Amino acid sequence: MSPPSEPAPGGQRLAIAAVVVTMLLWASAFVGIRAAAPSFSHGALALGRLLVASAVLVAILVLRRGGLPPRAAWPAIAGSGVLWFALYQVALNWGEQEVDAGTAAMLIGLAPILVASVSGALLGEQLSRNLVTGLGVAVAGTVLIGLSVAGSTDDSLRGVLLCVLAAVASAGGVILQKPALRKASAAQVTTFGCVVGAVACLPFTGQLVTELGDATPSAILNVVYLGVLPTALAFSTWAYALARTPASVMGITTFLVPVLAILMSWVLLGEVPGLLAVAGGVLCLAGVALSRRRAAAPVPAERR
């Protein structure tokens, strides 16, 4: 019989299934955004997705009697909502109007290394050699992706820069969520962060109403899909898996998102990033992997 501290085999299988679902849904979001681009502008798509996700998350929180977060948690929740949900969504949607889904996913892969770098600076901790080296490699990869589109159009280069802005915004949102999670539950932080993001995107209401009137039923269903599954459900499955799986394992799984996004965009949209963009994406992911490596522990004298 397993010790009480170890997860039951059934619970571990559910956690693994939750990881798989999360990665698939997050990867599909890049494809869904790209597919919605002809029918919805970047701001309208962000608002529509966040309104749907907010409705789902609030309904779940009410059914679970989650209540309101304490007052002390609201500043961080509001900040993460503006950055992680609003600015990230708008910038990513806008960027994907100019670059393919796979390239966008590779650029968003910069977020984990940005979180590590900024967290270290804010906490006054000395940055490790692996982190600094990994950051340099990831930046080189980003430059390579930029060069891959430099010969095409100014719009494509703008798309790359917007995706980098989205990665910065998501990193800032994650950093702001840390103090919020010390004062409120994960469900409260996610739900009300999403609501704040939706409120921040309300200036796009006129565009959303106009574009909904002209959109096809399939395009509208795509917006609903983005709100219900990659936003509301995926964040829930991620939290479930994180509570039952080592953080190091969960971190490694994020590398699957760009790969899955490229495969999905190839099959569903017929899009494949150029070789130079893929090479840059590999460098970005390699930089993130290198930044997460821990320094090797010294070998005891008797083992030398």
Tell me if residue 69 falls in helix, strand or coil: coil
Tell me if residue 37 falls in helix, strand or coil: coil
| Cβ pair 29, 230 in contact under 8 A | yes
Asked whether the predicted pLDDT for residue 216 surpasses 80, the reply is: yes
| Cβ pair 116, 291 in contact under 8 A | yes
Q: What is residue 64's DSSP assignment? A: T
Rg over alpha carbons for the chain, rounded to the nearest Å, is 20
Provide the percentage of residues in the chain whose pLDDT is more than 70: 76
In this prediction, residue 274 carries a pLDDT of 75
- Fill in the amino acid letter for 144: L
- Fill in the amino acid letter for 137: V
DSSP string, 189-207: HHHHHHHHHHHHTGGGHHH
Average pLDDT, the chain: 80
| Cβ pair 180, 189 in contact under 8 A | yes
Asked whether the predicted pLDDT for residue 268 surpasses 90, the reply is: no
Please compute the mean of the pLDDT values over residues 26-43 and round it to a whole number: 93
Rounded to two decimals, the pTM is: 0.80
Which range is least confidently modeled, 26-30, 87-91, 147-151, 186-190?
A: 147-151
In the block, tokens 């708008």 appear at 90
| Cβ pair 279, 144 in contact under 8 A | yes
- Residue 224, token pair as written in the block: 């609903």
CA angle 260, 137, 267 (to 5 degrees): 15
